[in-house]
Amino acid sequence: MQHRHHLRGIFFILCSALLFYLATFFVRLASTEFSAPGSWYTVARFALGLPLFYMFFHRRRVAVQNRLWLSLRAACNVLAVVFFLYAAHFGSVMNANVLNMTYPAFVALLSPIFIGEKNRVTAWLSVVAAITGAALITTGGAALQFQKADILGLASGVTAGVGVMSLRQIRKTDSTFNVLYYTFLLGTFVTVLLVVAETLLTPVSDYSAASMKFWLLLLASGVCGVIGQWVFTYGFAWVGAVEGSILSSTRILIALAFGLFYFNEAFTYSAGLGAILVLASNVLLSLGHPKQKS
């Protein structure tokens, strides 16, 4: 039975990798054709999910057991999503996804300090590889010449790493729907404020979003993000923090394939090497799963 549950967790996290990429895929399609504030894409993710997860939370009436870790998980997840979708909106979808996938290295870096997971030597090598790869992507191979959108992608990786570490800890005490409901509640509040602020600062004449196609793309991005968040969180009930992070690294390959063959994104040697290093980092992590302290 335990083996079947573990396989189920693996399946759900693999599904989340595809769904998270598709969320940015639809953002890029909409951003290419229409003009609208980037915050609209972030609010779609949370505002769609909140009513759904509230129904589950309200019906189950589960009391929160660990408010500190739950709050940290919610805050970091919201920041990671905002940084991630803005990176895809303003820059390369391929780079946004690859940089976001540096988060397993940050899980490995922080887990021994905060939740007592032990790392092998391969885990520390993976941290070095991921940081080096991220530096190559964000600078384009030129020292101190950072790409602004890619900085957002890297920020999403850092905050997602803290969020995944927190997720592994909170799943020891709290239900999937506790985690999702409070994450989406905070996310809706924050992103609605972003929408109001950014919409007020953007001249109405700059909008070109009054199209059914735009709203369908926005809906598709939000739905993929909501379902991806659910299966990702659900899957972590049966896999460890680093193991789950490795499984979701298949999104790197998906992003590279779509970026090169669908969006025809520019492929530089420095970005390619950076992507390889990030992927290698995740493979190294898979060779040395952390042990829990007794």
Considering the entire predicted model, what is its pTM? 0.82
Quick one: pLDDT at residue 145? 55
Query: Would you state the pLDDT for residue 73?
Result: 93
Q: In b/e form, how buried is each residue of 77-100, taking b as 16+ CB within 10 angstroms? A: bbbbbbbbbbbbbbbbbbbbbbbb
Higher pLDDT, 207 or 85: 85
The 10 Å Cβ neighbour count of residue 139 is 17
The single residue listed with the structure tokens 């590279």 is: 256
Q: Residue 126's pLDDT is what?
A: 82
Reported as a single tens digit per residue, the pLDDT across 240-279 is 766 776 777 788 888 888 888 888 776 677 778 888 888 8
Picking from 47-61, 157-171, 197-211, 222-236, which range would have the lowest pLDDT averaged per residue?
197-211
Q: Closest Cα partner for 92 from 255, 283, 226? A: 255
- Structurally, the chain folds into a number of domains equal to 1
Q: Which amino acid is at 87?
A: A
**Stretch 173-189: mean pLDDT:** 86
Work out the mean pLDDT of the chain and round it to a whole number: 82
The arithmetic mean of pLDDT across residues 142-168, rounded, is 83
pLDDT, tens only, 82-112: 999 999 988 888 889 999 988 888 888 888 8
Q: What is the pLDDT of residue 141?
A: 57
Domain hosting 33: range is 2-292
Does residue 291 or residue 173 have the better pLDDT? 173
